[in-house]
Amino acid sequence: MRKNGLIAIFTLTTLSLSAQFGINGAYRLNNAEQWKLTPFSSNQELAEFLGNGPAVGIDYWFRLKNVRIEFLPELNAGFYHSTISEVDGKSSVGQFSFFFNTNIYFLNFKGDCDCPTFSKHGPPLSKGIFFQLSPGVSYWNLDHTSGELEVKADATAFNIGAGLGLDIGLSDLVTITPVIGLRYTPSVTWDGLSKANGGIKEWILGDETSNIFQTNLGIRLGFRLDQ
């Protein structure tokens, strides 16, 4: 029994020491085409139920052996808030996601070693820039209050993202990566949202179901503990 316990501890320690993972933070700009109050008057601005906000994530890194295609499956959480003064309302939205990020280093596709960016040969741009493709699935927690009215809903939806990033090796252990990306969700339903305009005739709500476009401006810290 003790021997098995020692083997388990050794195995876990070995996995921890060889772990290659990252943490990231981003600011997310959201646009849900239908979750808006549109005024009849052109002198007034749109009122949006889905606000912008921060997002954080953690990922695990692995790659193909002979080409520079790298995979970073990620758990991510985003939190968005907005105030809709036209209906005396506030919205709070949580987005909890799994993303399967795939980075393709198109200027250094063959690579020169199975090593961190810091130790690779070549100009920083060519060895560090990549195109990212990122299919994902998100759970949405949707909450809106207007006076005594509270509309709560949840939904799960698939999405697809794409972006550009640049690995900047600080050392063999640490890499910093600025990333800009776009993400599209075809359809999310916020059940009950049609009640939120309170019958104000000067404003029109699009629909309870909307597609969502997101722009992500973020930065990642990657760690290779096998070096």
pLDDT of residue 148: 80
pLDDT of residue 125: 83
The span from the first CA to the last CA of the chain, in angstroms, equals: 33
Own/partner pairs, 145-150, CB within 8 angstroms, 24+ separation? 145/89, 145/90, 146/84, 146/87, 146/88, 146/89, 146/196, 146/198, 147/88, 147/89, 147/198, 149/89, 149/195, 149/196, 149/198
pLDDT of residue 32: 95
pLDDT of residue 221: 96
What pTM value is reported for the model?
0.84
pLDDT of residue 40: 63
Calpha distance 139→142 (Å, rounded): 10
pLDDT of residue 44: 60
Question: What's the token pair of residue 220?
Answer: 């990642």
Taking the domain 20-224, which CATH number applies?
Answer: 2.40.160.20
Calpha distance 57→191 (Å, rounded): 28
pLDDT of residue 9: 45
Residues of the chain with pLDDT under 50: 1, 6, 9-18
Domain residue spans of the chain: 20-224
